[in-house]
Amino acid sequence: MSILIRGAVVLTVNDNQEVIEEGDVVVEGQTISYAGPKREWQTSFARVINGRGKLLAPGFVNAHGHAAMTLLRSFADDVPLMYWLEKRIWPVEARLKREDVYWGTLLAIVEMLRSGTTTFTDMYFFMTQVAEAVEESGIRGVLARGLVGVGQQAEKGLEESEQFITRWQDEAAGRITTMLGPHAPYTCPPAYLQKVMRLQEKLNVPVQIHLAETLEEVRRIKEQYGLSPVALLKETGLLERPVIAAHCVHLSSEDIDIMRDYEVHVAHNPGSNLKLGSGIAPVPEMLERGVVVGLGTDGAASNNNLDMLEEMRLAALLHKGSRQDPTVITAHEALQMATKNSARAVFLNDVGMVAAGMKADLIMLDLHKPHLTPRHDLVAHLVYAAQPDDITLVMVDGKILLENGELTTLDEEKIMFQAQERAMHLVREQTEI
Ligand code: NI
């Protein structure tokens, strides 16, 4: 089926930052076959969508998160990371059932589609249920079974990872890719990371890990190994593999050099880092040295939403404020971070841009809004002023998943009902203990 989207302003996010004032985008099957100036077409299309007065952009790629943590949204706020994890989050997560993860992930997907995300990255457990949610919803997912290298779950996690990756890599018509997900250096000691690396060699998928998120982590790792978390991962050999590291808040200049030299990709999570009081990642320095930096929301328990529009805005504002320099992280850079660079960061080379040959993962926004008037600079509008409600169309892999406010593949009311019931049940158990 071929679709023509006619006459929209197209933010291509290509290497030339090209903006097509009155553009045509043609989608054939899963792929964009044309993205350029409006022209006369001799061919007929199964559907023509009027794009006049609309802004068309690549869908957002959420480079780091834990989708089913939507169930813990607003459950534990305003506390530090280690307390948050050890006293609040982990005890509840230990009781999660596979159905909880399924409904929590669907809730996350509803929220992400409504705010223009077309690819999300997930590190969690019961990943079969996550993959099923991806398959049913039509969204694109980069999925990893989270691994903790101590306790009873350590070996089981490796086995489940292998089964999951073997079963689901490139499934759902290619919309699912997989990774190995060792949680962090402080939960996965070097001997365990060696096992992860052996599995990585066998399965040939990238690795995602939380890294240098808090000063407390850096202190613990230095005390134990005499190295920074980044240097420790270099020592273990992990950085010789394709790696995306989430957070990377507390880095020395040497750490950034290591990351550049080993081409470690980064998921920047400004909302989560601010909320957990973790600090401010040295993103301008990483970008200056050529590190690939994408953007992620992290889980809804530490954000507390999964809105990449807000995350772009935070990324652009945070570094200006902390440096007292309004020229760092421009709107263009923030948009690239949320699209093209996030795609690169999660090792996808065919999404994140509106260009012929790319997968048709697109969003369209209605520009006829007071907060988007007048139209001096539409990139600035998208980053600094746009709202999820402005999004009128979301397409993933050539299929329309949201149109005129309605989701086409998911029963939103049922998902919210299930998520509410399950979340309350989980919390009730917590307070009974
Ligand atoms: Ni995380």
The CA-atom distances, in angstroms, between 31 and each of 78, 353, 355 are: 44, 12, 9
pLDDT over 60 at 280, yes or no: yes
From the CA of 191, how far away is ligand 1's center (Å)? 22
- CA 197 / ligand 1 centre spacing (Å): 20
| Residue burial 184-207, b: 16+ Cβ < 10 Å; e: rest | bbbbbbeebbebbbebbeeeebbb
End-to-end CA distance of the chain: 55
**Gap from CA of 5 to ligand 1 centroid (Å):** 36
Alpha carbon 358 to its chain's center: 19
User: Tens digits of per-residue pLDDT, 350-392?
Assistant: 999 999 999 999 999 999 999 999 999 999 999 999 999 999 9
Q: How far apart are CA 74 and CA 88, in angstroms?
A: 11
Spell out where 153-268 has E strands.
176-182, 207-211, 243-247, 265-268
pLDDT score for 82: 84
124 Cα: distance to centroid of ligand 1 (angstroms): 9
Distance CA 352, CA 343 (A): 6
Q: How many CB atoms lie within 10 A of CB 131?
A: 22
Residue 269, both tokens: 């999570």
Q: Which residues contact 128 (CB under 8 A, 6 or more apart)?
A: 98, 164, 167, 168
Mean pLDDT, rounded, of the chain: 96
- Tell me how far the alpha carbon of residue 130 is from its chain's centroid: 14
The domains located in the chain, with CATH, are: 2-59+351-407 (2.30.40.10), 60-345 (3.20.20.140)
Distance 235 CA to ligand 1 centre (A): 23
- pLDDT score, position 431: 56
Mean pLDDT of 263-277: 97
Q: Which residue(s) pair with 23 in the sheet?
A: 8, 37
Residue 320, CB-side half-sphere exposure with 13 Å CA sphere: 13
Q: What mean pLDDT comes out for the span 81-92? A: 88
| Element spanning 396, H or E | strand 391-396
Place of tokens 């399965």: 203
- Give all strands (DSSP E) within 149-264, no chain letters: 176-182, 207-211, 243-247
CA of 67 to the centre of ligand 1 (A): 10
Helices (H), 15-97: 81-83, 90-93
Q: What's the rounded Cα separation, in Å, for the pair 375 and 433?
A: 56
Q: What is the DSSP letter of 59?
A: P
Q: Note if the bond before 37 is cis, omega within 30 degrees.
A: no
Residue written as token pair 């999951």: 164
Model pLDDT for residues 144-174, shown as the tens digit of each residue = 999 999 998 999 999 999 999 999 999 999 9
**What single letter denotes the amino acid at residue 412?**
E
Ligand 1 mean position to 39 CA, how many Å? 45
Contact of 8 with 23, CB cutoff 8 Å = yes
Query: How large a percentage of the chain has pLDDT more than 70?
Result: 99
Mean pLDDT of the 260-276 span: 97
**Partners of 37 in the beta sheet?**
23
- Residue 284: per-residue pLDDT: 97
- pLDDT band at residue 433 under the 50/70/90 scheme: very low
Paired tokens of 311: 């995350």
Distance 148 CA to ligand 1 centre (A): 13
pLDDT digits (tens, 9 = 90+) for 9-50: 999 999 999 999 999 999 999 999 999 999 999 999 999 999
Q: pLDDT at position 429, please?
A: 62
Residue 168: other Cβ atoms inside 10 A: 21
pLDDT band at 231 (very low <50, low <70, confident <90, very high): very high
CA angle at 19 for the pair 16 and 25, rounded to the nearest 5°: 110
Q: Which residues of 374-395 are buried (b: 16+ CB within 10 A; e: fewer)?
A: eeeebbbbbbbbbebebbbbbb
Distance 385 CA to ligand 1 centre (A): 27
Question: Looking at 261-361, which runs of residues are DSSP E strands?
Answer: 265-268, 293-295
